[in-house]
């Protein structure tokens, strides 16, 4: 007697927002609305894990792995900035990730933060234990503790400076980005036939390139396009 095992539904589509942002970010909401019109649910995860003040890359990665579901489930991960770094780090370890869409990913974020802040500001952050940032989701000043950098660099020390991603990847980055430098995306994508790097005349938020992003993603993810209903 043959027992039929039902196949799992199409891959979950998960959106990972960036640093000090949230699930209601303009880009995430716009992309979710775009795909909803095509019958695909893009779930926007809360990446403020365990909180913005005590943000940890390792906790963000656990959140994504849990959101993918069971061992038989699969996922397409969208990641913006720090969310892009998180998506890449999950993809290099978790075979359930079948494709990536990276928007201005924060590769080697520890290095970029140190360069952007400068030596003195980094010393103050480490000494006083927290850095004041703007919380884009709550629209107010907030703090992030120095453990964020320590945890991120611990992940990098364990896994390597660059995420070792082997799945099809669409990477879109603005040439005018002053937050996460495009040179890191260029270096990471170089020599990888499974990575398509699209450079645009835009800054970090990429909102001026939203229509182009939607068009690129539509073409790139056509093989993964299975109607995924929103949760009840």
- pLDDT tens digits, residue range 194-224? 999 999 999 999 999 999 999 999 999 988 8
User: How many CB atoms sit inside 10 A of residue 61's CB?
Assistant: 21
Check residue 2 and give its pLDDT.
Answer: 47
What is the mean predicted confidence (pLDDT) over 47-63? Answer: 98
Q: How far apart are CA 118 and CA 131, in angstroms?
A: 13
**What whole-number percentage of the chain has pLDDT above 70?**
93
Strand-pairing partners, residue 172, are 103, 198
Residue 6 has pLDDT above 50, yes or no: no
Check residue 128 and give its pLDDT.
Answer: 96
Strand, coil or helix: what is 206? coil
* Dihedral-angle region of residue 46 (phi above 0 means left; psi in -120 to 50 means alpha; beta otherwise): beta
Domains of the chain: 12-224 (3.40.50.1820)
Q: How far apart are CA 6 and CA 187, in angstroms?
A: 42
């Amino acid at each position: 007697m043959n027992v039929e095992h039902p196949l799992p539904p199409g891959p979950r589509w998960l959106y990972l927002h960036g640093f000090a942002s949230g699930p209601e970010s303009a880009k995430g909401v716009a992309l979710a609305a775009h795909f909803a019109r095509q019958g695909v649910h893009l779930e926007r995860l809360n990446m403020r894990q365990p909180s913005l003040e005590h943000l940890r890359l390792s906790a963000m990665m656990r959140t994504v792995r849990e959101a993918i579901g069971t061992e038989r489930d699969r996922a397409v991960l969208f990641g913006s900035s720090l969310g892009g770094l998180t998506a890449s780090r999950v993809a290099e370890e978790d075979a359930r990730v079948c494709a990536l869409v990276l928007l201005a990913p924060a590769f080697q974020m520890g290095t970029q933060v140190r360069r952007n802040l400068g030596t003195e500001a980094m010393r103050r952050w480490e000494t006083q234990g927290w850095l004041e940032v703007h919380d884009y989701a709550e629209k107010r000043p907030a703090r992030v503790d120095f453990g964020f950098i320590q945890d991120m660099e611990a992940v990098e020390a364990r896994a390597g400076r660059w995420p070792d991603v082997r799945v099809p990847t669409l990477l879109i980055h603005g040439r005018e980005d002053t937050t996460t430098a495009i040179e890191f995306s260029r270096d990471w994508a170089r020599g990888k036939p499974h990575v398509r790097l699209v450079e645009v005349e835009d800054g970090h938020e990429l909102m001026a390139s939203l229509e182009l992003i939607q068009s690129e993603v539509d073409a790139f993810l056509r093989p993964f396009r299975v109607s995924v209903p929103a949760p009840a």
